[in-house]
A = this chain, B = another copy of it.
């Protein structure tokens, strides 16, 4: 007769296995599904996710948790399993099924109206649906519960343990550090020649070059793939099956390359999870913020560094077979780190990226708290853009309509991008203390010690520790945004001769 805990774990494992099926359905939808497969796919996803919800929120799960939640000694794996399922169960129980259905209905419509509004550069086409979404998410916060700020309840869905206050505190040194640095960079007489990164390269060559670096980083192509999709992403079904995607523009080869390095960072995390704990919280990544720290670390801290290009520029030159032969390492390294003001988040460089997020974070907080109305969003957006980035979007499609997130109800998601950047810089600093010869290794294309460090300090733990705790254990310090500001200054000062 299996124990209560064993029967509980059987259900936990079932939820996670269903989640892995749901991820395959989504991956296929974005890579290979034919256009008319969408109707069925919607039904399949609704069925699988509905089953997950029924198990998580079910009375049987509640009974297990009540029986198990008594102090249970020192087994951290068991404690993690119970804690995480308790969190999910409580959240699912608090949110009425009618609410979930209404949100699905509204966001399904909103995705179309957002797309139309963006195409027609007419915010009015999206405003009513966004109003409904804001109201619904405010209701959601009410169901979930919060201390003083309803936005906190939404933030924790994406980054457990975070709050508007903690995120605000994290942004403070950024705002103070980045603004003067940005000014200096823009006014510097030394500027890069970015045209050298824009020689056309065929899709096939781009893919080969990117995949070869992913392999060098340590991505195991026997445990994963690299396919094409409209928007790059990485989905881990299991440490033995991790699917990355990229998109290719012949005239922007660096754009696909850095996207591949980014997704490889996610992919290495997914492959580094402990397969022995598959199907349980200890085998799942801890948070979106920590996930993003892995992607950013490989994309930026490694992939935009000079040692990296000292190894890979000659290889890129060989791939081009001539077009880059006259380009020096310094020129190329400068060009892939060029700072340029853009109203578009996904085109932003490392220096300005987080200002785009700061703007969204403040607006989300204000929208949910009723301090900014949906109708006032476009002008408030533009005013903030002027303040932080000294520019005005030419139209709403390049302003407050540029991102899909709000249309699917993803309010509270954006800050995880910045959390990832900050964590990456702090991890990078700790890694450089522990691996003093890191740059020399990178210049030789040796990434094993770096990957081993991340595996040991981050990947293998799964959800055993909370996200901030993982960073603290790994780096010896609580999360601290000044590492990122220092990283930016150390990078840009020599490049722009500040």
Interface residues of A (CB under 8 A from B): 14, 17-18, 20-21, 24-25, 28, 32-41, 43-44, 47-48, 51, 220-225, 227, 237-238, 240-241, 275, 278-279
Which residue of chain B is the closest to A27 with respect to CB atoms? Answer: B28
In the complex the two chains form, is B225's CB within 8 Å of A36's CB? no
Query: Chain B residues near A18 (CB, 8 Å)?
Result: 47
19 sample A-B contacts, Cβ–Cβ < 8 Å, listed by A number: A14-B47, A17-B47, A20-B44, A21-B25, A21-B44, A21-B48, A24-B24, A34-B223, A34-B224, A35-B223, A36-B222, A37-B223, A37-B240, A37-B241, A38-B240, A39-B240, A40-B238, A41-B241, A51-B51
| Cα(A279)–Cα(B18), bound, Å | 20
In the complex the two chains form, is B28's CB within 8 Å of A24's CB? yes
Shortest beta-carbon distance from A44 to chain B in Å: 5
In the complex the two chains form, is A37's CB within 8 Å of B221's CB? no
For the residues of A in contact with B, the DSSP-based class is helix
In the complex the two chains form, is A32's CB within 8 Å of B225's CB? yes
Which residue of chain B is the closest to A24 with respect to CB atoms? Answer: B28
| Cα(A298)–Cα(B32), bound, Å | 26
| Cα(A241)–Cα(B34), bound, Å | 6
Which residue of chain B is the closest to A13 with respect to CB atoms? Answer: B43
In the complex the two chains form, is A20's CB within 8 Å of B36's CB? no
Which residue of chain B is the closest to A18 with respect to CB atoms? Answer: B47
Query: Chain B residues near A237 (CB, 8 Å)?
Result: 37, 40
Query: Chain B residues near A35 (CB, 8 Å)?
Result: 222-223
In the complex the two chains form, is B238's CB within 8 Å of A34's CB? no
In the complex the two chains form, is B47's CB within 8 Å of A220's CB? no
Query: Chain B residues near A224 (CB, 8 Å)?
Result: 34
In the complex the two chains form, is B220's CB within 8 Å of A40's CB? no
Most buried by B among A34, A47, A223, A224: A34
10 smallest CB-CB distances across A and B, nearest first, come from: A37-B241, A36-B240, A40-B238, A36-B223, A35-B222, A36-B222, A17-B47, A21-B44, A37-B240, A34-B224
| Cα(A65)–Cα(B332), bound, Å | 72
| Cα(A20)–Cα(B34), bound, Å | 15
Which residue of chain B is the closest to A238 with respect to CB atoms? Answer: B40
| Cα(A28)–Cα(B33), bound, Å | 11
Shortest beta-carbon distance from A9 to chain B in Å: 14
Most buried by B among A32, A41, A278: A32
In the complex the two chains form, is A36's CB within 8 Å of B278's CB? no
Given contacts A24-B28, A241-B40, whether A222 and B34 have CB atoms under 8 Å apart is yes
Which residue of chain B is the closest to A239 with respect to CB atoms? Answer: B36
Which residue of chain B is the closest to A39 with respect to CB atoms? Answer: B240
In the complex the two chains form, is A20's CB within 8 Å of B32's CB? no
Given contacts A24-B25, A28-B28, A39-B238, whether A17 and B44 have CB atoms under 8 Å apart is yes
Shortest beta-carbon distance from A16 to chain B in Å: 10
Shortest beta-carbon distance from A172 to chain B in Å: 43
Query: Chain B residues near A44 (CB, 8 Å)?
Result: 17, 20-21, 24
In the complex the two chains form, is B25's CB within 8 Å of A40's CB? no
Query: Chain B residues near A279 (CB, 8 Å)?
Result: 43
Query: Chain B residues near A36 (CB, 8 Å)?
Result: 220, 222-223, 240-241
In the complex, besides A17-B44, A36-B223, A40-B237, 6 extra interface pairs with C-beta distance below 8 angstroms are A34-B221, A34-B224, A36-B240, A37-B223, A40-B238, A51-B51
Which residue of chain B is the closest to A242 with respect to CB atoms? Answer: B34
